[in-house]
Structure 1
């Protein structure tokens, strides 16, 4: 097995954790869970499979939880893989990692992979904007950047390269769970868009220098353009682009539901919360922060 440490963040993931660990064991010799005090069988299952578990209180911040793991886990390998509990690598990607791992150039500190999504047990190949993510990186050469949404692994040393094959996000929970999750995401996305428009989040003068990948920069340039578009119209245009011009309609009923729910409904919900905050607070960023804290329990600094 390869000298790779896989870190998985968990909270009540008994549906996914066995599949995830079995997959990780095919390419990594050390697996850790950073668990947010699960009250189901997540820890029991993980430990029975040889994974090591530490627990840390969830503070509504994925990056903070992952970086806590990087700082506090007894990592013994030179490379770290970030994997979510509902994700797994395809056979082709695992084979590619085994083939190329021993010959990674010394100046390369990160490996980027494409992620594909399953929705209602069907993989979405059409209508999707390509999602490339840095997930494998040299220990202490990378960390998870602090963002409300769209957080990425970033490098403070070295460059990155991309592999050919992909991994998947395949969540087994029902549609109601997905809707509830995206309702929670929507206020964080709204904060991100308000930050683009008003500079809502204070930027630290002592921020550590790091290198964001070209794919992450591209996505953020797209988000900047999106933020400048008219409320509500932008979510409709985004859906039409994905469903019609990117051929999402070829994915059947599952494709329609995916592009409608994730591309239009979710984006409209985000815009509704942006509209709600602007209507209540005008352009006053201090009022916005107070409104968001009082109504959504998010403390924006």
Structure 2
């Protein structure tokens, strides 16, 4: 049984993931749309062979902008929209929960939050993890994707959200070298987010985003991230690793657990701090110099 849900998947060269993703989404979706950034592999061919509808749009190095383009331009006719990445899929219990609970939700519920869990080296990371709850299902016309450089979230413009019990997983099949390169690219975006908390570099790009920036929810999220941002460079990544690996029992998952918490919890966040240090060393606290440096060295126009 499919519900009145359209699933939107952003893709670029996702040939090895897209079949698994679409077949999973077909179990709970009425329509599946790909917003593809002109893939050069068989992503589009595989998607269309499975019945997904593919639309092309140029990638502008901004996930939120691409997703919001989809909301504005895709021929969505369903009541609900699900945001799903190509390397993600829902567990069976969550699919059943969606089918059972969505028809019975109160009218003022416009969004549904799910827990996301991570696979690393084909191992589900269950120890040392902070619970990641994400709003991924929302009523069409009642939400948009917040435009941030990292950790973009769906923001509700109407109604309330509810948390379901089941979870979905991020299970990327690419090799470790790909993961390292991806996180190297992510690190400058995360650095921009942390610099924005310190210097207020960025202004909301849309009226909706501006209104959300003033909301209590946005303020709560900023305050949580500020606690980390206010800690000393480099020490904070080390402390975060110890917290996850020792105090949250990450060490109980063997070599995969060590590599995950070391690389994602310490190495990646140290790399973020190194780029912040580099930028401040070159630019001081001059906001225009910071923006110019990031543009010239990292091709990111703030």
**1:209-247 alpha-carbon deviations (Å, 9 max, x no partner):** 349999876554331011111000000000000000111
User: CA–CA distance in 1 between the matches of 2:128 and 2:154?
Assistant: 25
Is contact 2:116-2:168 (8 Å) kept?
A: yes
Is contact 1:132-1:215 (8 Å) kept?
A: no
**1:50-83 alpha-carbon deviations (Å, 9 max, x no partner):** 0000000000000000000000000010100000
SS in 1 for 2:16: coil
Tell me the number of residue pairs that the alignment of Structure 1 and Structure 2 aligns: 300
Matching residue of 2:237? 235
Residues 101, 202 of structure 1: alpha-carbon distance in 2 compared, 3 angstrom cutoff: closer
Matching residue of 2:77? 76
User: CA–CA distance in 2 between the matches of 1:78 and 1:173?
Assistant: 34
**1:170-190 alpha-carbon deviations (Å, 9 max, x no partner):** 000000000000000000000
Is contact 2:213-2:219 (8 Å) kept?
A: no
Matching residue of 1:153? 154
Matching residue of 1:272? 274
Matching residue of 1:131? 132
TM-score by length of 2: 0.96
SS in 2 for 1:15: helix
Residues 5, 203 of structure 1: alpha-carbon distance in 2 compared, 3 angstrom cutoff: closer
Matching residue of 2:228? 226
SS in 1 for 2:106: coil
Matching residue of 1:184? 185
Deviates more, 1:139-148 or 1:205-214: 205-214
User: CA–CA distance in 2 between the matches of 1:210 and 1:79?
Assistant: 21
Task: Specify every segment of 5 or more residues in structure 2 that has no aligned partner in the other structure, as ranges.
Answer: none
Alpha-carbon distance, 1:206 to partner: 4.0
Is contact 2:68-2:145 (8 Å) kept?
A: yes
Residues 204, 46 of structure 1: alpha-carbon distance in 2 compared, 3 angstrom cutoff: closer
Q: Considering only aligned residues, what root-mean-square deviation do their CA atoms show, in Å?
A: 1.7
Q: Are 2:260 and 1:258 aligned?
A: yes
Alpha-carbon distance, 1:200 to partner: 1.2
Alpha-carbon distance, 1:46 to partner: 0.1
SS in 2 for 1:272: helix
User: CA–CA distance in 2 between the matches of 1:146 and 1:92?
Assistant: 31
Residues 210, 282 of structure 1: alpha-carbon distance in 2 compared, 3 angstrom cutoff: closer
User: CA–CA distance in 2 between the matches of 1:165 and 1:216?
Assistant: 25
Is contact 2:110-2:159 (8 Å) kept?
A: yes
User: CA–CA distance in 2 between the matches of 1:212 and 1:195?
Assistant: 16
Superposed counterparts of 1:160-175, under 5 Å? 160-175=161-176
Superposed counterparts of 1:75-154, under 5 Å? 75-154=76-155
**1:110-155 alpha-carbon deviations (Å, 9 max, x no partner):** 0000000000000001101100000000000011011111110000
Matching residue of 1:4? 5
Is contact 1:77-1:139 (8 Å) kept?
A: yes
